Amino acid sequence: MATFSEKVGYGLGDMSSSMFWKVFSYYLPFFYSNISGLSLVDAGVLVLVTRIWDAVSDPMMGVIADRTQTRWGKYRPYLLFVAPLFSIAGILLFTTPEWGYTAKLIYAYVTYILMMTVYTAINVPYGAMLGVMTDDSQEKTVFSSYRMFFAYGGSFIALAAWEPLVNFFKAGGLAGGMSAQTADAWQYAMIVIAAACFVLFLLTFYFTRERLKTVSTVSIGKDLKALLSNRPWWILIGAALCSNLFNTVRGASVAYYFADIIGFDQMLDFSVFGFDFSVLFYAGLFLSIGEVANMFGVACTVSLARHMGKKSLFMIVNVVLVVLSIVFFFIPVSPIGLWLMLLLQILISILTGIMSPLVWSMYADVSDYAELRYHTASTGLIFSSSSMAQKFGGAIGGAAVLWLLSACGYTPRTDDQMAAQSMLSQPESALMCLRYLMSFIPALVAVLAIVISYFYPLTTKHIEEVNAQLKLQRK
Protein backbone atom coordinates (compact mmCIF):
# COMPACT_ATOMS: atom_id res chain seq x y z
CA MET A 1 0.00 0.00 0.00
CA ALA A 2 1.46 3.35 -1.06
CA THR A 3 1.91 6.09 1.52
CA PHE A 4 0.22 9.48 1.46
CA SER A 5 3.58 11.24 0.90
CA GLU A 6 4.24 9.02 -2.10
CA LYS A 7 0.89 9.92 -3.65
CA VAL A 8 1.51 13.61 -3.07
CA GLY A 9 5.07 13.28 -4.38
CA TYR A 10 3.82 11.64 -7.55
CA GLY A 11 1.29 14.43 -8.00
CA LEU A 12 4.00 17.10 -7.74
CA GLY A 13 5.58 15.76 -10.94
CA ASP A 14 2.55 16.55 -13.05
CA MET A 15 2.17 19.85 -11.23
CA SER A 16 5.53 20.73 -12.79
CA SER A 17 4.70 19.36 -16.24
CA SER A 18 1.30 21.01 -16.33
CA MET A 19 2.62 24.44 -15.37
CA PHE A 20 4.69 24.33 -18.56
CA TRP A 21 2.16 22.51 -20.71
CA LYS A 22 -0.73 24.87 -20.02
CA VAL A 23 1.36 27.98 -20.65
CA PHE A 24 2.57 26.42 -23.92
CA SER A 25 -0.90 25.32 -24.99
CA TYR A 26 -2.77 28.50 -24.09
CA TYR A 27 -0.23 31.30 -24.59
CA LEU A 28 2.46 30.08 -27.01
CA PRO A 29 0.37 30.52 -30.21
CA PHE A 30 -0.50 34.04 -29.03
CA PHE A 31 3.17 34.63 -28.13
CA TYR A 32 4.38 33.61 -31.58
CA SER A 33 1.83 35.69 -33.48
CA ASN A 34 1.61 38.79 -31.27
CA ILE A 35 4.92 39.00 -29.34
CA SER A 36 7.55 37.25 -31.45
CA GLY A 37 6.04 38.59 -34.67
CA LEU A 38 5.61 35.37 -36.66
CA SER A 39 2.80 35.17 -39.18
CA LEU A 40 -0.24 33.07 -38.27
CA VAL A 41 0.48 30.61 -41.08
CA ASP A 42 4.16 30.19 -40.13
CA ALA A 43 3.27 29.85 -36.46
CA GLY A 44 0.67 27.20 -37.31
CA VAL A 45 3.16 25.16 -39.35
CA LEU A 46 5.70 25.52 -36.55
CA VAL A 47 3.30 24.21 -33.90
CA LEU A 48 2.19 21.30 -36.10
CA VAL A 49 5.62 20.15 -37.31
CA THR A 50 7.29 20.46 -33.93
CA ARG A 51 4.63 18.57 -32.02
CA ILE A 52 4.38 15.84 -34.64
CA TRP A 53 8.12 15.24 -34.23
CA ASP A 54 7.61 15.30 -30.48
CA ALA A 55 4.77 12.79 -30.70
CA VAL A 56 6.87 10.44 -32.84
CA SER A 57 9.74 10.65 -30.34
CA ASP A 58 7.52 9.52 -27.45
CA PRO A 59 7.55 5.78 -28.33
CA MET A 60 11.34 5.99 -28.75
CA MET A 61 11.62 7.33 -25.21
CA GLY A 62 9.21 4.69 -23.97
CA VAL A 63 11.41 1.90 -25.40
CA ILE A 64 14.54 3.46 -23.85
CA ALA A 65 12.90 3.85 -20.45
CA ASP A 66 11.55 0.28 -20.48
CA ARG A 67 15.11 -1.00 -20.87
CA THR A 68 16.71 1.26 -18.25
CA GLN A 69 17.93 -0.46 -15.09
CA THR A 70 19.40 1.54 -12.18
CA ARG A 71 19.42 1.38 -8.40
CA TRP A 72 16.65 4.01 -8.46
CA GLY A 73 14.45 2.00 -10.82
CA LYS A 74 13.61 2.17 -14.52
CA TYR A 75 11.76 5.46 -14.83
CA ARG A 76 12.48 7.47 -11.68
CA PRO A 77 16.10 8.51 -12.51
CA TYR A 78 14.91 10.61 -15.46
CA LEU A 79 13.11 12.94 -13.03
CA LEU A 80 16.43 13.81 -11.42
CA PHE A 81 18.72 14.18 -14.40
CA VAL A 82 16.42 15.80 -16.97
CA ALA A 83 14.82 18.38 -14.65
CA PRO A 84 17.50 21.10 -15.16
CA LEU A 85 17.28 20.79 -18.96
CA PHE A 86 13.49 20.96 -18.70
CA SER A 87 13.60 24.38 -17.04
CA ILE A 88 16.34 25.82 -19.27
CA ALA A 89 14.51 24.77 -22.45
CA GLY A 90 11.32 26.49 -21.26
CA ILE A 91 13.16 29.77 -20.73
CA LEU A 92 14.77 29.60 -24.19
CA LEU A 93 11.36 28.93 -25.74
CA PHE A 94 9.97 32.24 -24.45
CA THR A 95 13.06 34.23 -25.39
CA THR A 96 12.66 36.55 -28.40
CA PRO A 97 16.00 37.42 -30.08
CA GLU A 98 16.24 40.72 -31.91
CA TRP A 99 16.99 39.11 -35.26
CA GLY A 100 15.53 39.21 -38.75
CA TYR A 101 12.33 37.33 -39.50
CA THR A 102 13.94 34.20 -41.01
CA ALA A 103 16.50 33.86 -38.20
CA LYS A 104 13.74 34.37 -35.64
CA LEU A 105 11.63 31.65 -37.27
CA ILE A 106 14.58 29.22 -37.25
CA TYR A 107 15.22 30.03 -33.60
CA ALA A 108 11.57 29.28 -32.83
CA TYR A 109 11.84 25.86 -34.52
CA VAL A 110 15.06 24.96 -32.69
CA THR A 111 13.85 26.00 -29.24
CA TYR A 112 10.40 24.46 -29.63
CA ILE A 113 11.85 21.13 -30.82
CA LEU A 114 14.34 21.24 -27.94
CA MET A 115 11.60 21.95 -25.40
CA MET A 116 9.33 19.18 -26.60
CA THR A 117 12.18 16.67 -26.78
CA VAL A 118 13.17 17.41 -23.19
CA TYR A 119 9.51 17.32 -22.17
CA THR A 120 9.32 13.82 -23.65
CA ALA A 121 12.50 12.72 -21.89
CA ILE A 122 11.08 13.53 -18.47
CA ASN A 123 7.33 13.13 -18.91
CA VAL A 124 7.22 9.69 -20.58
CA PRO A 125 9.17 8.02 -17.74
CA TYR A 126 7.12 9.96 -15.21
CA GLY A 127 3.86 8.71 -16.70
CA ALA A 128 5.16 5.13 -16.95
CA MET A 129 5.91 5.13 -13.21
CA LEU A 130 2.18 4.69 -12.60
CA GLY A 131 2.44 1.16 -13.97
CA VAL A 132 5.18 0.09 -11.52
CA MET A 133 4.21 1.89 -8.31
CA THR A 134 1.34 -0.51 -7.54
CA ASP A 135 -0.31 -3.61 -9.01
CA ASP A 136 -3.83 -2.66 -7.84
CA SER A 137 -6.15 -1.17 -10.52
CA GLN A 138 -8.13 0.93 -8.02
CA GLU A 139 -4.95 2.29 -6.41
CA LYS A 140 -3.72 3.24 -9.87
CA THR A 141 -6.86 5.34 -10.22
CA VAL A 142 -6.06 6.92 -6.84
CA PHE A 143 -2.49 7.71 -7.94
CA SER A 144 -3.84 9.06 -11.22
CA SER A 145 -6.29 11.27 -9.33
CA TYR A 146 -3.53 12.68 -7.10
CA ARG A 147 -1.52 13.28 -10.24
CA MET A 148 -4.25 15.21 -12.00
CA PHE A 149 -5.32 17.09 -8.85
CA PHE A 150 -1.82 18.50 -8.49
CA ALA A 151 -1.55 18.96 -12.26
CA TYR A 152 -4.55 21.26 -12.26
CA GLY A 153 -3.25 22.96 -9.14
CA GLY A 154 -0.04 23.73 -11.00
CA SER A 155 -2.00 24.87 -14.04
CA PHE A 156 -4.06 27.19 -11.83
CA ILE A 157 -0.91 28.74 -10.35
CA ALA A 158 0.76 29.18 -13.74
CA LEU A 159 -2.28 30.59 -15.53
CA ALA A 160 -3.38 32.85 -12.68
CA ALA A 161 0.16 34.18 -12.26
CA TRP A 162 1.20 34.47 -15.91
CA GLU A 163 -0.38 37.78 -16.91
CA PRO A 164 0.26 39.41 -13.48
CA LEU A 165 3.92 38.32 -13.75
CA VAL A 166 4.22 39.75 -17.25
CA ASN A 167 2.60 43.02 -16.13
CA PHE A 168 4.82 43.10 -13.02
CA PHE A 169 7.99 42.98 -15.07
CA LYS A 170 6.63 45.41 -17.67
CA ALA A 171 5.83 47.89 -14.90
CA GLY A 172 9.34 47.85 -13.42
CA GLY A 173 9.42 44.74 -11.26
CA LEU A 174 13.12 44.22 -11.91
CA ALA A 175 15.82 45.37 -9.52
CA GLY A 176 16.18 49.10 -9.73
CA GLY A 177 12.60 49.55 -10.93
CA MET A 178 13.54 49.30 -14.61
CA SER A 179 10.58 48.45 -16.83
CA ALA A 180 10.90 45.67 -19.40
CA GLN A 181 9.77 45.45 -22.99
CA THR A 182 6.82 43.13 -23.63
CA ALA A 183 9.00 40.34 -25.06
CA ASP A 184 11.45 40.54 -22.15
CA ALA A 185 8.61 40.51 -19.64
CA TRP A 186 7.33 37.23 -21.10
CA GLN A 187 10.83 35.75 -20.76
CA TYR A 188 11.19 36.87 -17.12
CA ALA A 189 7.77 35.41 -16.29
CA MET A 190 8.90 32.06 -17.72
CA ILE A 191 12.09 32.14 -15.62
CA VAL A 192 9.92 32.28 -12.49
CA ILE A 193 7.74 29.38 -13.66
CA ALA A 194 10.78 27.33 -14.76
CA ALA A 195 12.46 27.63 -11.36
CA ALA A 196 9.34 26.30 -9.64
CA CYS A 197 9.10 23.38 -12.09
CA PHE A 198 12.70 22.36 -11.39
CA VAL A 199 12.11 22.14 -7.63
CA LEU A 200 8.86 20.18 -8.06
CA PHE A 201 10.50 17.43 -10.14
CA LEU A 202 13.26 17.03 -7.56
CA LEU A 203 10.59 16.57 -4.87
CA THR A 204 8.85 13.93 -6.99
CA PHE A 205 12.10 11.99 -7.30
CA TYR A 206 12.64 12.18 -3.52
CA PHE A 207 9.18 11.03 -2.42
CA THR A 208 8.33 8.27 -4.96
CA ARG A 209 9.36 4.62 -5.23
CA GLU A 210 9.05 1.89 -7.89
CA ARG A 211 7.59 -1.23 -6.23
CA LEU A 212 7.17 -3.59 -9.18
CA LYS A 213 10.21 -5.04 -10.92
CA THR A 214 9.31 -5.58 -14.57
CA VAL A 215 11.78 -6.75 -17.18
CA SER A 216 11.15 -6.81 -20.91
CA THR A 217 12.13 -10.27 -22.19
CA VAL A 218 11.30 -9.66 -25.85
CA SER A 219 12.94 -7.61 -28.57
CA ILE A 220 12.00 -4.05 -29.42
CA GLY A 221 10.46 -5.32 -32.64
CA LYS A 222 8.21 -7.74 -30.76
CA ASP A 223 7.27 -4.98 -28.29
CA LEU A 224 6.19 -2.76 -31.17
CA LYS A 225 4.37 -5.63 -32.91
CA ALA A 226 2.47 -6.39 -29.69
CA LEU A 227 1.59 -2.71 -29.30
CA LEU A 228 0.27 -2.41 -32.85
CA SER A 229 -1.80 -5.58 -32.33
CA ASN A 230 -3.33 -4.22 -29.12
CA ARG A 231 -6.91 -3.27 -30.04
CA PRO A 232 -7.77 -1.56 -26.70
CA TRP A 233 -4.63 0.58 -27.12
CA TRP A 234 -5.70 1.80 -30.57
CA ILE A 235 -9.19 2.69 -29.35
CA LEU A 236 -7.92 4.49 -26.27
CA ILE A 237 -5.38 6.41 -28.37
CA GLY A 238 -8.23 7.73 -30.54
CA ALA A 239 -10.41 8.65 -27.56
CA ALA A 240 -7.52 10.33 -25.72
CA LEU A 241 -6.51 12.28 -28.83
CA CYS A 242 -10.05 13.67 -29.03
CA SER A 243 -9.98 14.58 -25.35
CA ASN A 244 -6.73 16.51 -25.75
CA LEU A 245 -7.91 18.11 -28.99
CA PHE A 246 -11.04 19.36 -27.19
CA ASN A 247 -8.94 21.01 -24.47
CA THR A 248 -6.35 22.47 -26.84
CA VAL A 249 -8.81 24.05 -29.27
CA ARG A 250 -10.71 25.78 -26.46
CA GLY A 251 -7.58 26.69 -24.51
CA ALA A 252 -5.59 28.07 -27.44
CA SER A 253 -8.60 30.20 -28.48
CA VAL A 254 -9.16 31.86 -25.10
CA ALA A 255 -6.46 34.57 -25.35
CA TYR A 256 -7.78 35.57 -28.79
CA TYR A 257 -11.40 35.36 -27.62
CA PHE A 258 -10.77 37.76 -24.74
CA ALA A 259 -8.64 40.15 -26.79
CA ASP A 260 -11.11 40.48 -29.68
CA ILE A 261 -14.59 39.57 -28.44
CA ILE A 262 -14.70 40.26 -24.71
CA GLY A 263 -12.06 43.01 -24.62
CA PHE A 264 -9.45 44.07 -22.07
CA ASP A 265 -11.66 46.11 -19.73
CA GLN A 266 -14.74 43.97 -18.94
CA MET A 267 -15.51 43.74 -15.23
CA LEU A 268 -17.35 41.15 -13.16
CA ASP A 269 -19.59 42.99 -10.72
CA PHE A 270 -20.86 41.33 -7.52
CA SER A 271 -21.90 42.11 -3.96
CA VAL A 272 -20.82 40.47 -0.70
CA PHE A 273 -22.55 41.38 2.59
CA GLY A 274 -23.80 44.62 1.08
CA PHE A 275 -20.42 45.67 -0.34
CA ASP A 276 -20.03 46.05 -4.11
CA PHE A 277 -16.95 44.67 -5.85
CA SER A 278 -15.63 44.60 -9.39
CA VAL A 279 -13.01 42.19 -10.74
CA LEU A 280 -11.31 42.44 -14.13
CA PHE A 281 -12.50 39.60 -16.36
CA TYR A 282 -9.35 38.53 -18.23
CA ALA A 283 -8.13 35.36 -19.93
CA GLY A 284 -5.92 34.28 -17.04
CA LEU A 285 -8.81 34.52 -14.58
CA PHE A 286 -11.09 32.54 -16.90
CA LEU A 287 -8.48 29.81 -17.38
CA SER A 288 -7.28 29.62 -13.78
CA ILE A 289 -10.82 29.30 -12.41
CA GLY A 290 -11.21 26.47 -14.90
CA GLU A 291 -8.17 24.78 -13.35
CA VAL A 292 -9.75 24.96 -9.88
CA ALA A 293 -12.88 23.37 -11.33
CA ASN A 294 -10.66 20.72 -12.93
CA MET A 295 -9.36 19.87 -9.45
CA PHE A 296 -12.91 19.36 -8.21
CA GLY A 297 -13.58 17.03 -11.14
CA VAL A 298 -10.43 15.05 -10.34
CA ALA A 299 -11.57 14.64 -6.72
CA CYS A 300 -14.81 13.06 -7.97
CA THR A 301 -13.19 10.65 -10.41
CA VAL A 302 -12.36 7.71 -8.15
CA SER A 303 -15.87 7.49 -6.70
CA LEU A 304 -17.60 7.95 -10.06
CA ALA A 305 -15.36 5.43 -11.83
CA ARG A 306 -15.93 2.87 -9.09
CA HIS A 307 -19.72 3.14 -9.37
CA MET A 308 -20.14 3.70 -13.11
CA GLY A 309 -17.13 2.01 -14.67
CA LYS A 310 -14.41 3.84 -16.56
CA LYS A 311 -15.81 3.36 -20.06
CA SER A 312 -19.36 4.47 -19.15
CA LEU A 313 -18.06 7.49 -17.27
CA PHE A 314 -15.91 8.54 -20.23
CA MET A 315 -18.88 8.44 -22.61
CA ILE A 316 -21.29 10.27 -20.27
CA VAL A 317 -18.79 13.06 -19.64
CA ASN A 318 -18.40 13.65 -23.37
CA VAL A 319 -22.16 13.74 -23.94
CA VAL A 320 -22.49 16.57 -21.39
CA LEU A 321 -19.47 18.36 -22.92
CA VAL A 322 -21.25 18.42 -26.29
CA VAL A 323 -24.31 20.10 -24.78
CA LEU A 324 -22.40 22.69 -22.72
CA SER A 325 -20.09 23.61 -25.61
CA ILE A 326 -23.02 24.33 -27.90
CA VAL A 327 -24.71 26.47 -25.23
CA PHE A 328 -21.54 28.61 -24.98
CA PHE A 329 -22.05 29.87 -28.54
CA PHE A 330 -25.31 31.62 -27.67
CA ILE A 331 -24.08 33.59 -24.65
CA PRO A 332 -23.81 37.36 -25.33
CA VAL A 333 -21.08 39.70 -24.11
CA SER A 334 -23.06 41.43 -21.36
CA PRO A 335 -22.85 41.71 -17.56
CA ILE A 336 -25.01 38.60 -17.15
CA GLY A 337 -23.39 36.91 -20.14
CA LEU A 338 -19.93 37.20 -18.59
CA TRP A 339 -21.12 35.35 -15.48
CA LEU A 340 -22.77 32.70 -17.65
CA MET A 341 -19.52 32.22 -19.58
CA LEU A 342 -17.70 31.74 -16.29
CA LEU A 343 -20.34 29.27 -15.09
CA LEU A 344 -20.03 27.21 -18.27
CA GLN A 345 -16.24 27.31 -17.98
CA ILE A 346 -16.56 25.88 -14.46
CA LEU A 347 -18.93 23.10 -15.54
CA ILE A 348 -16.88 22.18 -18.62
CA SER A 349 -13.69 22.18 -16.56
CA ILE A 350 -15.19 19.89 -13.91
CA LEU A 351 -15.95 17.40 -16.67
CA THR A 352 -12.51 17.64 -18.30
CA GLY A 353 -11.07 17.27 -14.80
CA ILE A 354 -12.84 13.92 -14.52
CA MET A 355 -11.55 12.92 -17.94
CA SER A 356 -7.82 13.32 -17.33
CA PRO A 357 -7.19 10.85 -14.46
CA LEU A 358 -9.71 8.52 -16.04
CA VAL A 359 -7.71 8.29 -19.27
CA TRP A 360 -4.39 7.79 -17.43
CA SER A 361 -5.94 5.01 -15.35
CA MET A 362 -7.30 3.37 -18.51
CA TYR A 363 -3.78 3.39 -19.97
CA ALA A 364 -2.59 1.51 -16.87
CA ASP A 365 -5.33 -1.08 -17.54
CA VAL A 366 -4.20 -1.37 -21.17
CA SER A 367 -0.65 -1.96 -19.90
CA ASP A 368 -1.84 -4.81 -17.67
CA TYR A 369 -3.85 -6.28 -20.56
CA ALA A 370 -0.74 -6.18 -22.78
CA GLU A 371 1.44 -7.86 -20.14
CA LEU A 372 -1.05 -10.71 -19.76
CA ARG A 373 -1.79 -11.25 -23.45
CA TYR A 374 1.57 -10.54 -25.06
CA HIS A 375 3.93 -11.31 -22.11
CA THR A 376 5.75 -8.03 -22.60
CA ALA A 377 6.67 -5.50 -19.91
CA SER A 378 6.20 -2.48 -22.18
CA THR A 379 4.72 -0.04 -19.65
CA GLY A 380 6.89 2.84 -20.84
CA LEU A 381 6.02 2.21 -24.48
CA ILE A 382 2.30 2.14 -23.72
CA PHE A 383 2.37 5.23 -21.53
CA SER A 384 4.46 7.05 -24.11
CA SER A 385 1.53 6.54 -26.48
CA SER A 386 -0.63 8.53 -24.10
CA SER A 387 1.84 11.37 -24.26
CA MET A 388 1.89 10.92 -28.04
CA ALA A 389 -1.90 11.32 -28.19
CA GLN A 390 -1.68 14.39 -25.97
CA LYS A 391 0.87 15.99 -28.25
CA PHE A 392 -0.89 15.06 -31.48
CA GLY A 393 -4.03 16.61 -30.03
CA GLY A 394 -2.06 19.69 -29.09
CA ALA A 395 -0.36 19.85 -32.49
CA ILE A 396 -3.56 19.53 -34.48
CA GLY A 397 -5.53 21.79 -32.16
CA GLY A 398 -2.92 24.55 -31.88
CA ALA A 399 -2.20 24.60 -35.60
CA ALA A 400 -5.90 24.47 -36.50
CA VAL A 401 -6.66 27.51 -34.35
CA LEU A 402 -3.94 29.57 -36.04
CA TRP A 403 -4.79 28.44 -39.57
CA LEU A 404 -8.52 28.97 -39.14
CA LEU A 405 -7.94 32.47 -37.80
CA SER A 406 -5.63 33.24 -40.71
CA ALA A 407 -8.16 31.90 -43.23
CA CYS A 408 -10.87 34.04 -41.65
CA GLY A 409 -8.82 37.24 -41.92
CA TYR A 410 -7.68 37.67 -38.31
CA THR A 411 -5.28 40.64 -37.82
CA PRO A 412 -2.45 40.08 -35.25
CA ARG A 413 -1.40 42.93 -32.97
CA THR A 414 1.84 44.88 -33.06
CA ASP A 415 3.99 45.22 -29.93
CA ASP A 416 2.67 48.75 -29.33
CA GLN A 417 -0.92 47.59 -29.66
CA MET A 418 -0.24 44.77 -27.19
CA ALA A 419 1.30 47.21 -24.71
CA ALA A 420 -1.69 49.56 -25.09
CA GLN A 421 -4.16 46.63 -24.87
CA SER A 422 -6.18 48.20 -27.64
CA MET A 423 -9.14 46.59 -29.39
CA LEU A 424 -8.71 46.03 -33.11
CA SER A 425 -11.42 46.10 -35.73
CA GLN A 426 -11.44 42.45 -36.75
CA PRO A 427 -13.55 41.27 -39.71
CA GLU A 428 -16.83 39.60 -38.82
CA SER A 429 -15.54 36.32 -40.27
CA ALA A 430 -12.67 36.28 -37.76
CA LEU A 431 -14.99 37.03 -34.84
CA MET A 432 -17.38 34.29 -35.89
CA CYS A 433 -14.45 31.89 -36.23
CA LEU A 434 -13.46 32.62 -32.62
CA ARG A 435 -16.99 31.93 -31.43
CA TYR A 436 -17.02 28.58 -33.25
CA LEU A 437 -13.61 27.68 -31.80
CA MET A 438 -15.08 28.06 -28.31
CA SER A 439 -18.28 26.12 -29.00
CA PHE A 440 -19.29 24.04 -32.00
CA ILE A 441 -15.82 22.82 -33.01
CA PRO A 442 -15.03 21.38 -29.54
CA ALA A 443 -18.54 19.90 -29.48
CA LEU A 444 -17.86 17.98 -32.71
CA VAL A 445 -14.61 16.65 -31.23
CA ALA A 446 -16.49 15.39 -28.16
CA VAL A 447 -19.01 13.62 -30.42
CA LEU A 448 -16.12 11.83 -32.12
CA ALA A 449 -14.76 10.77 -28.71
CA ILE A 450 -18.13 9.20 -27.85
CA VAL A 451 -18.20 7.18 -31.07
CA ILE A 452 -14.64 5.90 -30.62
CA SER A 453 -14.96 5.00 -26.92
CA TYR A 454 -18.09 2.94 -27.62
CA PHE A 455 -15.82 0.19 -29.00
CA TYR A 456 -13.41 0.14 -26.01
CA PRO A 457 -13.47 -3.48 -24.69
CA LEU A 458 -11.81 -3.24 -21.24
CA THR A 459 -14.87 -3.06 -18.99
CA THR A 460 -14.59 -3.26 -15.19
CA LYS A 461 -15.32 -7.00 -15.21
CA HIS A 462 -12.75 -7.66 -17.93
CA ILE A 463 -9.94 -5.79 -16.18
CA GLU A 464 -10.69 -7.55 -12.86
CA GLU A 465 -10.14 -10.87 -14.63
CA VAL A 466 -6.91 -9.57 -16.15
CA ASN A 467 -5.57 -8.45 -12.74
CA ALA A 468 -6.43 -11.78 -11.12
CA GLN A 469 -4.53 -13.71 -13.79
CA LEU A 470 -1.57 -11.31 -13.63
CA LYS A 471 -1.15 -11.84 -9.88
CA LEU A 472 -0.79 -15.57 -10.51
CA GLN A 473 1.58 -14.98 -13.43
CA ARG A 474 3.84 -12.60 -11.45
CA LYS A 475 4.34 -15.01 -8.51
CA distance 182 to 235: 44
Query: Average of pLDDT values for 247-266?
Result: 88
pLDDT over 70 (residue 416): no
Nearest to 128 by CA among 294, 305, 377, 356: 377
Burial group, residue 189, by CB count within 10 angstroms (0-12, 13-18, 19+): buried
14-42 as b/e, with b when 16 or more CB fall inside 10 Å? bbbbbbbbbbbbbbbbbbbbbbbbbebeb
Q: For the whole prediction, is pTM greater than 0.75? A: no
Domain assignment of residue 255, given as a range: 4-474
Query: Average of pLDDT values for 112-141?
Result: 85
Helical ranges in 229-309 per DSSP H: 231-257, 283-308
12-29 pLDDT tens trace? 999 999 898 888 877 888
pLDDT over 80 (residue 9): yes
pLDDT at 175: 53
pLDDT over 60 (residue 420): no
Amino acid identity of 375? H
pLDDT at 445: 95
CA distance 316 to 322: 10
**DSSP assignment of 360-379, as one string?**
HHHHHHHHHHHHHHH----H
350-367 pLDDT tens trace? 999 999 888 878 888 888
Dihedral sign, CA of 161, 262, 249, 296? positive
At 315, which CATH number?
Answer: 1.20.1250.20
363-398 pLDDT tens trace? 888 888 887 787 776 666 777 766 676 667 777 887
Report helix, strand and coil shares of the chain as percent, to nearest 5: 80, 5, 20
Least confident piece of the model among 167-171, 335-339, 385-389, 432-436: 385-389
Q: How many domains does the chain have?
A: 1
The winner for highest mean pLDDT among 146-155, 323-332, 401-410, 424-433 is 323-332
pLDDT over 80 (residue 414): no
194-235 pLDDT tens trace? 999 999 999 999 998 888 776 655 566 777 777 778 889 889
pLDDT at 313: 95
28-87 pLDDT tens trace? 888 888 888 888 888 888 878 887 787 678 778 888 888 888 888 888 999 999 999 999
pLDDT at 20: 87
Dihedral sign, CA of 100, 101, 105, 108? positive
Under the banding of pLDDT at 50, 70 and 90, the label for residue 336 is very high
